Structure 1
Amino acid sequence: MDHLAAIRAAGAAPVDIRALFADEPDRLARLTASACGLALDLSRLALPLPVLDQLLVACTAADLPGWRARLLAGEMVNPSEGRAATHCAERGVGSPADVAVAQAAAHDGNRIASQLRAEGVTDVILIGIGGSALGPALLNDALGRDGDGPTVHVVANIDGEALHRALAACTPATTRLLVVSKTFTTAETMTNAQTSLEALAAATGRDPAAVKAEAVAITARPDRAATWGASHILPFAESVGGRYSLWSAVGLPLAIRCGPEALSQLRAGAAAMDAHFRDTPLAQNLPVLAALADVWAAHGQGQQTRGIFAYDERLRLLPAYLQQLEMESNGKGVGRDGSALAGPTAAITWGGTGTDAQHAVFQLIHQGTCVGPVEFVAVLEPAHDLPATHHRQLLANCFAQGAALLKGRSFEAALSQSGGDAALAHAKTFSGNRPSSTLLLDRLDPATLGALIAFYEHRTFTAAVLLGINPFDQWGVELGKELANALLAGEDLGFDPSTAALVARAGL
């Protein structure tokens, strides 16, 4: 049964958001919620309350409570790979067996982090890609400024320029490698790891094997890491997906830079959001409400793009992190049973940093022809001690952008500002009625960041349940890898003329 068919039918008519505030006296109360240091306001989205009620009914029809219970209990929720998704166990929520394994691994990770912090290491180069790099990079950038441990450099791209820059910023004699790969076969990661070993060995006059012996390997395949030659191996469960893996030993860079307690607090904040997601009624549940709004925007409003703008420099990597989380999880075309889906799935997630983006992409957001929800993320408490005017201007701009998207400016008002020039007035006219939401953090510390990331995880999961898809596989990333390997091996797979010409031109 297509439980979203009625939702799509309800979206036939356009929604006047401004009128909703007048017509729905309880709108603000029903579309705002707070938990775990986060406050969410969805009231400026094109989501009428009767539609919200329909979506809540759809949650029951899709068995969201059942799927949620199975996820948090460590039961099978990934049918294409026949396994559970146990990232929540890494923060203490799951089956007792999974939690016990995660806690033992966390203890080992804390030991290694403390050791690196104590033995004079100045730099750590983390080598990974995808979730093995995006999560650690977000944590390091958001929280690492005031850390007193080694500086962490994250290298993901196979482009040698990325590794060159990291190596140039390090002191070779006091640099350690952290190689992160779930399979420990990822081509980009293993190539960067080998080149790093050779470069550090050459710079210090040591044998590459000695440099490798000091490296830390983080993987779901410790056997392969041992064969590679790593002496320090931190395993994590095969059932922890790459884009959910920062809760495992993959989050070790935070403990290295800021101390093990920071990583513990991050996990505790996420566990608090797990409890909120599990225990709070759907109508007041932050991840559920946000997911319902996402599904409605795509199915009811035909909007398949969502901009994320972080009004805090420490969260500048959040849009990139969410791109993988949301698009790799829910960017599917078939349901759990392999049947084609009747409607849209994941939106295109994109974004930037406020206020920089206001002087660039916001032109399209306010006056362009592509309309989609915009999400503003801000932190109430600044971390710097510069004059208060900086943070006041930052928040004022954040709040004003959402207000301007909704309010707009009429042609008549623009004409009065344009000296009677009709063409100029049309250029200064804003349609308004453009959807946005706001997510406010009380502060940005490890616990609140943990809750924020877990909020987005459960939001993505809830949307997947409503859409009937599996958010824990990612077969779409495989075909390109296969063809790249074929090209490097010189195999002729009958490539199209364009590809063949490019290969010839590059001399591959």
Structure 2
Amino acid sequence: MAKAAGDAIGAAWDRIRGVKLHALADLFAADDARVAKLSGRIDWGEDLTAGGILFDWTKTHLDDELLGGFEELASAVDFSAARAKLLSGAKINATEGRAAEHTAPRGTGAEASVEEAQALLARMKMLVDAIHDGALGEVKHLIHIGIGGSALGPDLAVDALTRDLAKVDVHVVSNIDGVALEQAFALCDPQTTMLAVASKTFTTIETMTNAASALKWLGDNGVDDPSGRVVALTASPEKAVEWGVDETRVLPFMESVGGRYSLWSSIGFPVALGAGWDEFEAMLAGAQMVDQHFASTEGRANLPLRAAFADQYYTRVRGCQTRAVFAYDERLALFPSYLQQLEMESNGKRVTAAGEPVDGPTAPVTWGGVGTDAQHAVFQLLHQGTHLIPVDFIASIAPGDMLDPAHHRILLTNCFAQGAALMAGGNMASDGKDPARAFPGNRPSATMLCDDLDAATLGALIAFHEHRTFANAVLMGINPFDQFGVELGKKMANDIERGDAEFDASTRALLGAAGLA
């Protein structure tokens, strides 16, 4: 059976690699229906304030032949079965022996898990409402302390959703560098500040060190009961209580919710506190709209799977080592950083789920920035450099500001023009012959155009990329839900702290130069 599956996978890849490479302009010329075929929308109803997202993959090299080959690959790896395992709460994370139930807080998954997740969210809502109602005294500031998935998602969502008005001023601190924590202290009044400590295990050294320093800051500045100002967000509630958090202020989440997928759980507490419960709930609902599409749509019509087809083509067939993401919206300034962890920690693997060496490249390096800033920094390389780099553009039709509409019009025209220019190329010399002014074109991009950037849209965007990441993993046969690659360096850092390890000559010299040995 395994040999038959392997043969089918190999045959699908042979078919994909055998498709003739066509220029993007030729693909448009050959198919009048190309825009309709390679664009699709996910919409939501009036209860979310009607809106949606247009996903345009027309300026990629996907065509009917490639899509057919990738659908054959999806069938060979039994994508439908893997998706069903994910959404049913099966132990799809085989190396750690657990499920991956980040969709459960959004209402998608095994019935018992959905009930448990939503009960935990109801507990969180009670605390959020109590704080907003003043039951815990005046609370103007929240310092949210976490790292990795416990910080990147909350930071993104708070930044995106609270720029107009925040119910509570939220500062997310992740770095162990004390400068980051001191910067938050400088912006907060300790008498009206609460702390959220976010750690799945409640043992993460950076988080717990920062939390201890934040408690000391509260005490040093006249707060009588610093521990009473702490909310713990964790899958290990007993450790939080042992650390000193009142059990009524421990907000647990399920062990089967992984760190970088945990925004939807109590890790989203700072989002609910800062933006309001209605906004947090809308974010969950927008994500659920994508869950429903992902669960019920087959083949190339499944938009996260179609995005994964393009990712696999550029990484494994065209040899692209990076993928760039540019948000033409200041509110999504942190989105590329969020995607870096989601995609590279999930799919930056060198063995399959069965423990065998992978047979090709896995995750590309994800990077990016904000338009139009990036146009004056890195787009030179995208247009004229020697690297082929697929680009994703993200924009919103509705502006996020109240200024002259010229601002948003210029923003959008630049976004769309960059995609067009990457594809078309040309020569800007008057005689059309100057090689320094030549643009080769035929460079791929995709565009995600949102009707508006509200909470539902943000949730949908994040969920789309979660499912895209999972789809890529299934097509490559790897497990996207473990992250052992982050552990070795942390272990060696702990070894240095304990002074019980030998290192290479260079590391010993650096430790000596820094006064650490």
Q: Same fold by TM (over 0.5)? A: yes
Equivalent position of 1:500 in the other structure:
508
* 2:448 equivalent to 1:442: no
Greater shift in the superposed pair: 135-144 or 13-22: 13-22
Amino acid paired to 2:37: R
Residues 365, 5 of structure 1: alpha-carbon distance in 2 compared, 3 angstrom cutoff = farther
Residues 129-152 of structure 1: CA distance to partner in whole angstroms, max 9, x if unpaired? 000000000000000123341100
Task: Give the 3-state SS of the residue equivalent to 1:216 in structure 2.
Answer: strand
8 Å contact from structure 2 (residues 12, 76) kept in 1: no
Equivalent-residue separation in structure 1 for 2:401 and 2:296 (angstroms): 36
Residues 443, 205 of structure 1: alpha-carbon distance in 2 compared, 3 angstrom cutoff = closer
Residues 390-449 of structure 1: CA distance to partner in whole angstroms, max 9, x if unpaired? 000000000000000011114xx52527xxxx6xx2111111111111111111111111
50, 55, 71: which one aligns with 1:56:
71
Amino acid paired to 2:509: A
Equivalent-residue separation in structure 1 for 2:193 and 2:151 (angstroms): 18
Equivalent-residue separation in structure 2 for 1:34 and 1:447 (angstroms): 14
Moved over 4 A (4+): none
Kindly state the Cα deviation for residue 213 of structure 1 after the two structures are TM-superposed. Answer: 2.2
Residues 187, 297 of structure 1: alpha-carbon distance in 2 compared, 3 angstrom cutoff = same
Alignment gaps of 5+ in structure 2: 1-5, 44-51
* 2:93 equivalent to 1:106: no
Equivalent-residue separation in structure 1 for 2:348 and 2:244 (angstroms): 37
Equivalent position of 2:392 in the other structure:
375
Equivalent position of 1:455 in the other structure:
464
Residues 280, 14 of structure 1: alpha-carbon distance in 2 compared, 3 angstrom cutoff = closer
Equivalent-residue separation in structure 2 for 1:347 and 1:264 (angstroms): 33
8 Å contact from structure 1 (residues 7, 299) kept in 2: no
* 2:62 equivalent to 1:39: no
Task: Give the 3-state SS of the residue equivalent to 2:447 in structure 1.
Answer: strand
Kindly state the Cα deviation for residue 156 of structure 1 after the two structures are TM-superposed. Answer: 0.1
* 2:13 equivalent to 1:7: yes
Kindly state the Cα deviation for residue 50 of structure 1 after the two structures are TM-superposed. Answer: 0.2
220, 238, 262: which one aligns with 1:245:
262
8 Å contact from structure 1 (residues 11, 301) kept in 2: no
Normalised by the length of structure 2, the TM-score is 0.94
Amino acid paired to 1:189: T
8 Å contact from structure 1 (residues 84, 239) kept in 2: yes
8 Å contact from structure 2 (residues 191, 223) kept in 1: no
Amino acid paired to 1:443: D
Kindly state the Cα deviation for residue 286 of structure 1 after the two structures are TM-superposed. Answer: 1.1
8 Å contact from structure 2 (residues 15, 69) kept in 1: no
Task: Give the 3-state SS of the residue equivalent to 1:76 in structure 2.
Answer: coil
293, 303, 315: which one aligns with 2:332:
315
Aligned-pair identity (%): 51
Kindly state the Cα deviation for residue 245 of structure 1 after the two structures are TM-superposed. Answer: 0.2
Task: Give the 3-state SS of the residue equivalent to 1:87 in structure 2.
Answer: coil
1:264-343 paired onto structure 2 within 5 Å: 264-343=281-360
1:179-218 paired onto structure 2 within 5 Å: 179-204=197-222, 206=224, 210-218=225-233
* 2:402 equivalent to 1:361: no
8 Å contact from structure 1 (residues 405, 434) kept in 2: yes
1:121-200 paired onto structure 2 within 5 Å: 121-200=139-218
Equivalent-residue separation in structure 2 for 1:271 and 1:66 (angstroms): 20
Task: Give the 3-state SS of the residue equivalent to 2:331 in structure 1.
Answer: helix
Task: Give the 3-state SS of the residue equivalent to 2:426 in structure 1.
Answer: coil
Normalised by the length of structure 1, the TM-score is 0.95
Task: Give the 3-state SS of the residue equivalent to 1:247 in structure 2.
Answer: coil
Equivalent-residue separation in structure 1 for 2:10 and 2:86 (angstroms): 22
15, 26, 34: which one aligns with 1:19:
26
1:336-351 paired onto structure 2 within 5 Å: 336-351=353-368
Equivalent position of 1:390 in the other structure:
407
8 Å contact from structure 1 (residues 124, 175) kept in 2: yes
8 Å contact from structure 2 (residues 193, 229) kept in 1: no
Greater shift in the superposed pair: 373-382 or 48-57: 48-57
Equivalent-residue separation in structure 2 for 1:55 and 1:156 (angstroms): 39
Kindly state the Cα deviation for residue 27 of structure 1 after the two structures are TM-superposed. Answer: 2.1
Residues 350-369 of structure 1: CA distance to partner in whole angstroms, max 9, x if unpaired? 00000000000001111111
Task: Give the 3-state SS of the residue equivalent to 1:400 in structure 2.
Answer: helix
56, 66, 69: which one aligns with 2:84:
69
* 2:418 equivalent to 1:401: yes
Equivalent-residue separation in structure 2 for 1:184 and 1:429 (angstroms): 55
Amino acid paired to 2:28: F
Kindly state the Cα deviation for residue 70 of structure 1 after the two structures are TM-superposed. Answer: 1.2
Residues 157-187 of structure 1: CA distance to partner in whole angstroms, max 9, x if unpaired? 0000000000000011000000000010000
Kindly state the Cα deviation for residue 79 of structure 1 after the two structures are TM-superposed. Answer: 0.5
Equivalent position of 2:253 in the other structure:
236
Aligned-residue Cα RMSD (Å) equals 1.4
Task: Give the 3-state SS of the residue equivalent to 1:70 in structure 2.
Answer: helix
Kindly state the Cα deviation for residue 10 of structure 1 after the two structures are TM-superposed. Answer: 4.0
Residues 172, 8 of structure 1: alpha-carbon distance in 2 compared, 3 angstrom cutoff = farther
Count of aligned positions: 496
Kindly state the Cα deviation for residue 205 of structure 1 after the two structures are TM-superposed. Answer: 5.1
Kindly state the Cα deviation for residue 14 of structure 1 after the two structures are TM-superposed. Answer: 4.3
8 Å contact from structure 1 (residues 24, 49) kept in 2: no
1:403-422 paired onto structure 2 within 5 Å: 403-410=420-427, 414=429, 416=431
